Amino acid sequence: MIKKTLFLFVVCISSLRAQKIEVGGGAGVTHYKGDLNPSFRPFLFSAGANLFGRYNFSNSLSVKAGVMGGWLRGDDRKSGYRLNEARGYRFKGSLVEYSGQLEYNFMNFRSSNRSSSAWTPYLFGGIAGYLTPNQTFKEPLGIALEPLKGLSPLISVPFGVGFKKIWKSQWNFGFEFGARLLVDPRYSDQLDQFSFKKGTNHYLDTDPSAPAAPPHFIVANTPQADKYFYTNFYISYVFYKAYCPPGR
């Protein structure tokens, strides 16, 4: 009886595996890249925070669903480009994103066998919906811009890299950096409410009564789609589950 009990105990311990369910949250910074900031400016950022749930199919493959909230801003004056600095446009607003993504761990993370790793880098990619309510746009020349209102959630494609490490027996901590590509062709260049308009290359709407502006001021810098980025540090809790064979 004692031998049988010891055998079942050893089997239970060795089969403690694939901690399937994981929940967590994090905080970090958002970045915007577009007509007001044509290049990625690491020191021009806003705050963001996120919550997520992760399901670990195996030690190398996971899916994650999450929600992120924060702010975005762009500023010609801090873009590092002389034309932008002279133009002086600015925008800011809130951002809400909900996403699903697939993750691939390079190491045998949290495995029950001898090749187990306590840390791993990983790649991720997926699909997300985003909203940008409460946007404001400011310019020094008196040109009016009609804000984008009443839009349904738009689609972006998140992808990037991450790193995670076991903190304690049931806790992980990690870091993640991801870009978001805006894929709706109608609005992919309007994250900052400023875009190329076919045939005119002016921004979305202008007020005819507003003072005239130099032509190069009302032309968007690039026809490329806008982008936003999210960098965050997070902690997560793993729910263990032991699989024990039935007794005989």
Domain of 230, CATH number, reads 2.40.160.20
Residue 14: inside a domain, yes or no?
no
Domain total for the chain? 1
The model's pLDDT over 175-217, given as tens digits with 9 standing for 90+, comes to 999 999 998 877 787 788 776 554 444 444 444 444 455 555 5
**C-alpha dihedral (84, 85, 91, 96), degrees to nearest 10:** 70
Residue 190: inside a domain, yes or no?
yes
Residues 62-97 as b/e (b if ≥16 CB within 10 A, e otherwise) read bebebebbbbbbbbbebbeeeebeebebbbbbebeb
Q: Which residues pair with 109 in a beta bridge?
A: 117
Q: Which residues pair with 236 in a beta bridge?
A: 24, 172
The model's pLDDT over 91-125, given as tens digits with 9 standing for 90+, comes to 888 999 999 999 999 998 887 666 778 999 999 99
Residue 226: inside a domain, yes or no?
yes
Residue 3: inside a domain, yes or no?
no
The predicted model scores a pTM of 0.79
pLDDT of residue 184: 81
Residue 140: inside a domain, yes or no?
yes
DSSP structural state of residue 37? S
Residue 248: inside a domain, yes or no?
no
pLDDT of residue 198: 44
Domain coverage including residue 234: 24-239
Residue 12: inside a domain, yes or no?
no
Residue 136: inside a domain, yes or no?
yes
* Beta carbons within 10 angstroms of residue 209's beta carbon: 7
pLDDT of residue 22: 95
